């Protein structure tokens, strides 16, 4: 088979964001776009000669073509082996697990997570390092530098590999092993949780619905929930992955998982509801008439961790991304364990997990995970909740009330303003940045500002520093507002406004978050002049 060298030149805009490179699918399909980026990954990691990689993704439109291109490029650059999920389907946490279990040199995940798929949707490519986690900034910046200097790439001329057939194939001298993407992951879950207890829960009549949102967790949820744990058939809905996610938006939040919300707030609600995103790393948890916000969910997992076999010895530490609510900190204080605050994106948890400083991590964007892999893990979070409910034997709503009574409640919401004109968004951020030093000690929208800063993170393990990670304002009354620009969007800019207010008065623990946060919402508007600057009067999405 021939290896050909193709002349190319740098393509603008190949800077990896919060989680790999995400673009419109059509952009990825433009001549050389994918190839340039993949060759730059090889350069950024010091070549693939003799290496073994994992390859898989959420199965979105163009994944099948992209997988064949990546295989031909890996073979052309001398990779020894690529382990591929059948039909290139592997959830993000399962890919992280494969990279670790098989001790490979890393892997490539094809996904744009919760963004819609299809020719008019989004596509993404992410490189994960040998620890199974998303490449840290040191690696992504080398990849980005390579995209700016590229002049050629190598690709093998060959027929497509049959990725539907399990077993070993070859491409030139490179081996390709097509594996069942669910098997290893299901085994890992059975080692973490008390599967006997969960089987007893379902055989005792516990009812749940898991909405896979036509995305990658379908096969995993069918196999684990309905297979291993004996949940009745029909527990998993929308369980067949489709390249455009059934035309939907595979984002597990009350807006995009509305069917599930309607069911859980209706007359015939089952005991428990859950959903996961496109690539299976996010989760949504909802009890009967009780939606659990992601930051609260993280705090509940930490508070109840010792009920799960793997964490029965306690937690080494916990970590949350900066904009995530401080509900976790309250639990850590009681447990007397360290609580780290990192920038947004899972890549910042990797060092803490590798160094054994943190056991559980999470983000307000519906991502929770632990040291079992190096990605957030949707189905793991769902099984964690089931394990807690099996042990505590109370409804979700009661568990939440108990949690807030014990620890206090951090009312929390994120307001997103999507596809804002990029210049206007950066002007807003720049103006706010300029105002920060003058805010402490003044009153804004009737709230006394205590502190204001721009978040920067010094990694305690490798000493690296990440700057400009969000603008934050804290009030005397224990409130906080954070402003960030999204690093995963593909159209204009997305402004994220994170609102939080702590409440410990036992009489005030049952409010609607949007009501409880009205003062913080007013402060955010006044300090940023968001509606005036962007013409937007309400968020496109709030969670």
Q: Does 279 bind Co ion (CB under 5 A)?
A: yes
CA dist list (Å): 187 to 139, 142, 246, 360: 31, 35, 29, 20
Interface with ligand VG1 (CB under 6 A), residue from 11, 14, 16, 18: 18
Q: Does 283 bind Co ion (CB under 5 A)?
A: no
Pick what 375 binds: Co ion, ligand VG1, none; C-beta below 5 to 8 Å, kind-dependent.
Answer: none
* C-alpha span between 123 and 111 (Å, rounded): 6
- Interface mask (CB under 6 A) for ligand VG1, residues 108-137, using x and -? -----xx-----------------------
Interface with ligand VG1 (CB under 6 A), residue from 309, 478, 487, 492: 487
Contact 49, 76 (CB under 8 A): no
Work out how close the CB of 489 gets to ligand VG1 at its nearest, in angstroms, rounded to a whole number: 6
Count of residues in the chain: 543
Q: Provide the phi-psi class of 316: left if phi over 0, else alpha when psi is between -120 and 50, else beta.
A: alpha
Radius of gyration from C-alpha coordinates of the chain: 23
Q: Does 113 bind Co ion (CB under 5 A)?
A: yes
Q: Does 490 bind ligand VG1 (CB under 6 A)?
A: no
* C-alpha span between 246 and 445 (Å, rounded): 44
User: Which are the contacts of 36, defined by CB distance < 8 A and separation ≥ 6?
Assistant: 8, 10, 11, 14, 147, 150, 153
* Residue found by looking up tokens 């939440």 in the block: 400
Work out how close the CB of 496 gets to ligand VG1 at its nearest, in angstroms, rounded to a whole number: 6
CA dist list (Å): 482 to 287, 341, 394, 451: 28, 14, 35, 12
Q: Does 40 bind ligand VG1 (CB under 6 A)?
A: no
Pick what 344 binds: ligand VG1, Co ion, none; C-beta below 5 to 8 Å, kind-dependent.
Answer: ligand VG1
Interface with Co ion (CB under 5 A), residue from 194, 281, 371, 375: 281
Work out how close the CB of 223 gets to ligand VG1 at its nearest, in angstroms, rounded to a whole number: 21
- Interface mask (CB under 6 A) for ligand VG1, residues 222-261, using x and -? ----------------------------------------
For residue 400, give both structure tokens: 């939440």
Nearest residue to 301 via CA among 403, 419, 175: 403
Pick what 525 binds: ligand VG1, Co ion, none; C-beta below 5 to 8 Å, kind-dependent.
Answer: none
Work out how close the CB of 247 gets to ligand VG1 at its nearest, in angstroms, rounded to a whole number: 19
Strand, coil or helix: 273: strand
User: Which are the contacts of 62, defined by CB distance < 8 A and separation ≥ 6?
Assistant: 25, 28, 29, 119, 123
Work out how close the CB of 114 gets to ligand VG1 at its nearest, in angstroms, rounded to a whole number: 5
* C-alpha span between 43 and 48 (Å, rounded): 8
Beta strands at 208-211 and 272-276: parallel, antiparallel or unpaired:
parallel
Contact 488, 471 (CB under 8 A): no
Nearer to ligand VG1 by Cβ, of 311 and 498: the residue is 498
* C-alpha span between 140 and 118 (Å, rounded): 26
Interface with ligand VG1 (CB under 6 A), residue from 282, 357, 372, 409: 282
Q: Among residues 113, 242, 295, 370, which one is catalytic?
A: 113
Work out how close the CB of 528 gets to ligand VG1 at its nearest, in angstroms, rounded to a whole number: 17
Nearer to ligand VG1 by Cβ, of 385 and 483: the residue is 483
Q: CB under 5 A: which stretch of 220-228, 251-259, 281-289, 340-348 binds Co ion?
A: 281-289
Pick what 415 binds: ligand VG1, Co ion, none; C-beta below 5 to 8 Å, kind-dependent.
Answer: none
Identify whether 325 is a catalytic site residue. Answer: no
User: Which parts of 341-380 interact with ligand VG1 (CB under 6 A)?
Assistant: 344-346, 363, 365, 367
H-type alpha helices, 268-371: 294-303, 327-335, 350-354
For residue 406, give both structure tokens: 């014990």
DSSP state of 135: P
* Closest residue to ligand VG1: CB criterion: 113
Work out how close the CB of 113 gets to ligand VG1 at its nearest, in angstroms, rounded to a whole number: 3
Pick what 19 binds: Co ion, ligand VG1, none; C-beta below 5 to 8 Å, kind-dependent.
Answer: ligand VG1
Q: How many residues bind ligand VG1 (CB under 6 A)?
A: 18
* Closest residue to Co ion: CB criterion: 113
Handedness of CA 327, 330, 332, 335 (dihedral sign): negative
* C-alpha span between 326 and 474 (Å, rounded): 12
Nearer to ligand VG1 by Cβ, of 364 and 503: the residue is 364
Beta strands at 174-179 and 208-211: parallel, antiparallel or unpaired:
unpaired
For binding to ligand VG1 (CB under 6 A), which residues are involved?
A: 18-19, 113-114, 277, 281-282, 321, 344-346, 363, 365, 367, 486-488, 496
Q: Which residues of this protein are in contact with Co ion, per CB under 5 A?
A: 113, 277, 279, 281-282
Task: Please list the active-site residues.
Answer: 113
């Amino acid at each position: 088979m021939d290896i050909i060298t193709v002349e190319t030149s740098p393509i603008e805009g190949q800077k990896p964001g919060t989680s790999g490179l995400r673009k419109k699918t059509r952009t990825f399909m433009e001549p050389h776009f994918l190839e340039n980026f993949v060759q730059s990954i090889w350069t950024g990691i010091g070549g693939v000669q003799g290496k073994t990689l994992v390859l898989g993704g959420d199965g979105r439109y163009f994944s099948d073509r992209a997988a064949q291109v990546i295989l031909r490029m890996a073979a052309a650059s001398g990779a020894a082996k690529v382990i591929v999920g059948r039909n290139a389907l592997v959830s993000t946490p399962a890919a992280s697990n494969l990279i670790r279990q098989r001790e490979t040199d890393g892997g490539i995940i094809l996904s744009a997570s919760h963004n819609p798929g299809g020719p008019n949707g989004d596509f993404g490519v992410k490189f994960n390092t040998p620890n199974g986690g998303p490449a840290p900034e040191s690696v992504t910046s080398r990849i980005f530098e390579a995209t700016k200097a590229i002049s050629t790439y190598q690709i093998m001329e060959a027929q497509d590999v049959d990725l539907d057939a399990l077993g070993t194939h070859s491409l030139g001298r490179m081996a390709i092993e097509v594996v069942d993407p669910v098997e290893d992951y299901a085994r890992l879950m059975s080692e973490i949780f008390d599967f006997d207890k969960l089987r007893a829960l379902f055989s005792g009549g516990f009812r749940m619905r898991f909405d896979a949102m036509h995305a990658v967790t379908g096969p995993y949820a069918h196999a684990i929930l309905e297979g291993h744990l004996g949940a009745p058939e029909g527990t998993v809905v929308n369980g067949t992955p489709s390249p455009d996610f059934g035309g939907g938006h595979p984002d597990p939040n009350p807006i995009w998982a509305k069917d599930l919300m309607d069911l859980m707030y209706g007359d015939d609600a089952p005991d428990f509801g859950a959903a996961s995103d496109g690539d299976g790393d996010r989760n949504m948890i909802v009890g009967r008439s009780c939606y659990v916000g992601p930051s609260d969910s993280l705090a509940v997992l930490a508070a109840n961790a010792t009920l799960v076999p793997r964490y029965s010895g306690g937690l080494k530490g916990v970590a949350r991304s900066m904009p995530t609510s401080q509900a976790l900190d309250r639990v850590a204080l009681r447990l007397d364990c360290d609580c780290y605050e990192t920038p947004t994106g899972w890549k910042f948890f990797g060092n803490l997990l590798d160094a054994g400083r943190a056991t559980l991590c999470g983000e307000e964007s519906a991502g929770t995970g632990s040291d079992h892999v190096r990605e957030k893990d949707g189905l793991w979070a769902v099984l964690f909740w089931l394990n807690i409910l099996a042990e505590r034997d109370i409804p979700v709503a009661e568990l939440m009330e108990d949690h807030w009574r014990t620890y206090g409640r951090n009312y929390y919401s994120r307001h997103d303003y999507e596809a804002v004109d990029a210049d206007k968004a950066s002007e807003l951020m720049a103006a706010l940045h300029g105002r920060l030093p003058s805010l402490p000690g003044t009153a804004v929208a009737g709230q006394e500002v205590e502190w204001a800063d721009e978040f920067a993170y010094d990694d305690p393990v490798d000493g690296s520093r990440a700057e400009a990670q969000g603008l934050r304002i804290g009030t005397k009354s224990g409130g906080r507002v954070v402003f960030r620009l999204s690093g995963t969007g593909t159209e204009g800019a997305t402004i994220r406004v994170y609102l939080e207010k702590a409440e410990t008065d036992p009489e005030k623990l049952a409010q609607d978050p949007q009501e409880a946060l009205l003062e913080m919402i007013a402060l955010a508007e006044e300090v940023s002049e968001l509606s005036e600057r962007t013409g937007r009067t309400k968020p496109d999405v709030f969670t």
